[in-house]
Amino acid sequence: MGTVISLTIPALAREPSSAADGPRPAEDELAAATAVVERLFTELDGRFSLYRSDSEASRLARGELALAHASADMRARYGDAAGWRLLTDGAFTPARPDGVLDLSGLIKGYAVKEAGTSLKALGLNHWCLNAGGDVLVSGSPRPGSDDAWLAGVVDPEDRKTLLAGFPIGGGRTRCSLATSGSAERGDHIWGVGSTTADFRQVSVAAADVVTADVLATAIVAGGLPMLDRATQEWDVDVLAVRRDGGLLATPGFRT
């Protein structure tokens, strides 16, 4: 998917059922957690990534495969993206301006969500998963406490500098944070009309990582009108970086 995926698991990630269980996770559990994340991202990358010439998405882009004959997974994710296009009044779209199907604005968040479900199925209750700025957490970095994970937002002008840190998890409603813009991969989001001039980067914190991922992309594409719509219609916090370096932030990012 053209990015880096990292998984952080604190030393007591699995709640011991008794004192005799001792510290968790064991090395084999860590290996299992790593393997399940790697396997899931590899499978989705092989299907949806336009960075790979042999992916199903690339075959669709070249016209070698029609969407009607694509896999059930591809058609389902296209349906999800089409639904978000309606919800955002076209600010989020599953197709590039040249007509090529591109689900990258959705699939990374979807992959993170699926990986999180798999980690919980392994019995891991405390972890942080980060895929190129799409962050999903469970529990706390200090199991047994209600401490939150602190998700950093990179300054698009200087990737060694953080603009803000936002608490997620630890019993809070916000369990995810997604950032879209040019900090990692350059300008790659197509806008609605002239609204691409509004923001260089947008971060959205939400309960659901797919919602955070989609709305971050939609706000970059849709500009100020989409920012207003997102903050009115969804339970989210937003930090938006203007093209001139100015910041717009909802109360959650200002506290």
Residue 158: name the closest of 223, 245, 221, 240 by CA.
245
Helix, strand, or coil (residue 167)? strand
pLDDT, one tens digit per residue, over 236-254 is 999 999 999 999 999 999 8
Around Cβ 116, how many Cβ atoms within 10 Å? 20
Around Cβ 78, how many Cβ atoms within 10 Å? 18
With 50 as the cut, is the pLDDT of residue 145 above it? yes
Residue 55 burial (C-beta neighbours within 10 Å; 0-12, 13-18, 19+): middle
Domains of the chain, earliest start first: 5-254 (3.10.520.10)
- pTM exceeds 0.85, yes or no: yes
pLDDT, one tens digit per residue, over 195-224 is 456 999 999 999 999 999 999 999 999 999
Listed as own residue / partner, the contacts of 24-31 with beta carbons closer than 8 Å and 24 or more positions apart are 25/124, 29/122, 29/123, 29/124
* pLDDT score, position 104: 87
With 50 as the cut, is the pLDDT of residue 106 above it? yes
pLDDT, one tens digit per residue, over 94-103 is 998 899 999 9
Residue 205: name the closest of 195, 219, 193 by CA.
219
* pLDDT score, position 188: 47
With 60 as the cut, is the pLDDT of residue 160 above it? yes
With 60 as the cut, is the pLDDT of residue 105 above it? yes
Calculate mean pLDDT across residues 178-196.
Answer: 60
Strand bridging mode 127-131 / 134-138: antiparallel
- Average pLDDT over all residues of the chain: 89
* pLDDT score, position 29: 81
